[in-house]
Amino acid sequence: MNLLDSKGMPVNNILLFTLFPNPYSELIKKLAIEAGLDPLIVTSLIKQESAFNADAVSSAGARGLMQLMPLTAKSIKKKVRREQLAIPEHNLRIGITYLKKLLIRYNGNLIYSLMAYNAGEKNADRWIKHIFPKLSDQLQIVEAIPFSETQGYVQTIVRNIFFYKLLYDIPLKKHIKDSKSYSEIFGLKLNDVFDKHALSGASFMDGDLSKNFENCTNGSKIREVAESNGSAGSLPLSLPKKAL
């Protein structure tokens, strides 16, 4: 059987858990909850930044699980040494603190915070001021990011969040099993990124969630499931101010 046929690749639980692993889960959970962040959002960022390689070093010099530049790390913890950024707990503690700092700076807007994490705060500030004011829909904002690398970075992390929530959010998985309404469950709203149970509100797609979940876990094709639901709807990605 040709897995890469014109309709996509058959997907099951084993493949999904392989594509979206969750190492360091207990450490990430501990440090993220201490900071008031959703551990699965942090995990989604780490997957994109380093693919969970604690020894990763980018060509620009970013280091460790959350790919921290030494100067950025020192802005959070002055006495940190470069070699300490390869230690998972040090890297995670500093990186999570920096991510929370960005979320506070951008009033809880996850899209803006991810842009700044990747492209720098000065670039994010310039885009927010000159490009985004006329755009109300968060998906339109993602499409308008002028750096293709940053646009792809944000899109990939949002995709990661979708699958990590699907695979590892136990209350969500139970709710999926018990419910027939896709729109009731998959509000991948990301509104409450400071809340570990941040899945409520407007629907991400329409359709029958329980049916689609069963299809995905029994070897159906992701693309067919997505197409059966139509195009994705609006994806509000900002925090309520009370959470800050």
- What is the DSSP track for 60-103? T--BTTTTB-HHHHHHH-TT--GGGGGSHHHHHHHHHHHHHHHH
- β-pairing, 10-12 vs 218-221, is antiparallel
Non-local (6+) Cβ contacts of 177 within 8 A are 210, 213
Catalytic residue among 26, 34, 49, 214: 49
CA gap 183, 196 in Å, rounded: 20
Question: Rg of the chain over CA atoms, in angstroms?
Answer: 18
> Which tokens belong to 218?
């029994």
**For residues 236 and 201, is the Cβ–Cβ distance under 8 A?**
yes
Nearest-10 crossing angle of helices 170-178, 148-168: 70
49 is catalytic: yes
Catalytically active residues are 49
